[in-house]
């Protein structure tokens, strides 16, 4: 019996007039993980997150938080939520705004003020503490929104597209902060459609498309299961047995030989270890042997299909 996840979805479905936004979705977010909810735009990521926050209620299925029965609304003081549609009170001073948002999470005024000051310093916004929110640049506003999400020291952080619209420097700052919080034990759920980010950050992922789960699990597991292992191999003294091993169709489906090294696509069910053993037995001297996993990007495109790839290409153009 595995440990109960911080967030568990069991067969959750949500329909809106005319279409199914989320269809029979089940997933478990382990404690302390950085969990990526991945999918193209319109896949149902935000709807899923809103249901976890009980801003929307699922039509069927069950959502459990922290292993209990209470809903996201009752537990909001333990959760930090950065919605995709995020805003600030434009006319409020930054510090007042942060204190207010912390207070409605149940943080005492004095404590909220102190930690707002601390966080503003940490993210380089000290000079802006007493400025009005609409005097801030968009990137600074996003940082303020992020601070509002973490001010009450949540155990679970839910970030919907946290890096969208950030410049590389600020994205880096945000990423470092997220990793730091995760090291300190915070469980983090974030959604994105940019696979490179997820690949770098996530311990575990769930890929959804058109409201339906495509694959989920620990990142390494997902990659292993996606199969189609690639091996990069460089061998000295190839004469003799080595070529025979590389030509064995039971082991190697296809080989791209670049002279210095070869890229092998292994046959279905073949173990890279057998290839290595075969080469060594044949008396070859192996100078390089690397099991190259498929990137999350490749898995994503393979599994979500050309529609999603087109959507993604569009997004990248928009972001460039």
Partner 1 sequence: MHKIWVVIRREFLERVRTKWFVIGTVLGPVFMFGVIALPILMAERGARARAVVVVDATADGFGRRLVAILDQTETVRPALEVVPPERLEGTADSLAGEVGRETIDGFLLVTAATVNEGRGEYRGSNVTSPADMRILQTALRNAVFAERLRREGVEPSVVGRAQIPVELVTSNVRHGRVTGESGEASFLLAYVMWFLLYIAILLYGVQVMGSVVEEKTSRIVEVLVSSLRPFHLLTGKILGVGAVGLLQLGIWVGFGKFMLDRRADVAKLLGQDTETAMALSRMSFPEVPFATIATFLAYFLLGYFLYAALFASVAAMVNSESEARQAQTPVVMLLVIPTVLMIGILNDPGGSMALALSLIPFTSPIAMPVRWAAAPVPLPELAASLAILVATVLAVMWVAGRIYRVGILMYGKKPGLKELARWVRG
Name the site residues for partner 1 (rule: CB under 8 A). 53, 55, 72-73, 76-77, 79, 81-83, 85-92, 100-101, 103-106, 145, 148
Taking the CA atoms of 29, 34, 40 and 42 in sequence, report the sign of the dihedral they define: positive
Q: How far is the CB of 17 from partner 1 (least distance, A)?
A: 9
Report the candidate in 56, 101, 72, 59 with the shortest Cα–Cα distance to residue 8.
Answer: 72
Q: How far is CA 83 from CA 46, 74, 110, 223, 275, in A?
A: 8, 18, 26, 29, 48
Q: How far is the CB of 15 from partner 1 (least distance, A)?
A: 13
Q: How far is CA 225 from CA 2, 192, 202, 247, in A?
A: 20, 22, 17, 25
Question: Angle of helix 94-103 relative to helix 109-122, nearest 10 degrees?
Answer: 130
Question: For partner 1, which is the closer residue by CB, 29 or 107?
Answer: 107
Structure-token match 């070529």, residue found: 243
CB 202 within 8 A of CB 185: no
Euclidean distance between CA atoms 212 and 22, whole angstroms: 6
Question: For partner 1, which is the closer residue by CB, 74 or 290?
Answer: 74
Q: How far is the CB of 132 from partner 1 (least distance, A)?
A: 11
Q: How far is the CB of 47 from partner 1 (least distance, A)?
A: 11
Q: How far is the CB of 55 from partner 1 (least distance, A)?
A: 6
Q: How many angstroms from the chain centroid is the CA of residue 301?
A: 16
Euclidean distance between CA atoms 143 and 171, whole angstroms: 10
Question: For partner 1, which is the closer residue by CB, 107 or 264?
Answer: 107
Q: How far is the CB of 314 from partner 1 (least distance, A)?
A: 21
């Amino acid at each position: 019996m595995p440990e109960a996840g911080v967030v568990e979805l069991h067969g959750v479905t949500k329909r809106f007039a005319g279409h199914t936004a989320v269809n029979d979705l089940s997933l478990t977010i382990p404690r302390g993980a950085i969990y990526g909810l991945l999918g193209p735009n319109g896949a149902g990521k935000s709807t899923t997150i809103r249901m976890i926050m009980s801003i929307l209620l699922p039509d069927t299925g069950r959502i459990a938080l922290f292993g209990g029965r209470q809903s996201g609304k009752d537990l909001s003081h333990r959760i930090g939520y950065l919605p995709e549609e995020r805003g600030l009170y434009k006319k409020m001073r930054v510090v007042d705004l942060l204190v207010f948002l912390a207070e409605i999470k149940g943080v005492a005024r004095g404590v909220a003020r102190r930690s707002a000051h601390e966080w503003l310093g940490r993210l380089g916004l000290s000079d802006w503490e007493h400025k009005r929110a609409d005097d801030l640049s968009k990137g600074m506003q996003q940082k303020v929104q992020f601070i509002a999400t973490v001010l009450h020291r949540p155990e679970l952080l839910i970030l919907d597209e946290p890096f969208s619209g950030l410049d590389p420097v600020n994205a880096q700052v945000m990423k470092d902060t997220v990793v730091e919080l995760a090291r300190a034990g915070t469980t983090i759920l974030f959604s994105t459609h940019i696979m490179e980010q997820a690949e770098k950050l996530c311990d575990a992922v769930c890929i959804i498309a058109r409201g339906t789960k495509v694959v989920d699990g620990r990142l390494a597991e997902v990659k292993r299961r996606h199969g189609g292992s690639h091996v990069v191999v460089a061998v000295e003294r190839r004469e003799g047995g080595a070529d025979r091993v590389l030509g064995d169709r039971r082991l190697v489906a296809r080989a791209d030989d670049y002279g210095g090294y070869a890229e092998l696509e292994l046959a279905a069910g073949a173990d890279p270890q057998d290839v290595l053993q075969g080469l060594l037995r044949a008396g070859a001297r192996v100078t390089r042997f690397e099991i190259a996993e498929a990137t999350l990007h490749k898995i994503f495109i393979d599994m979500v299909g050309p529609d999603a790839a087109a959507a993604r290409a569009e997004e990248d153009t928009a972001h460039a």
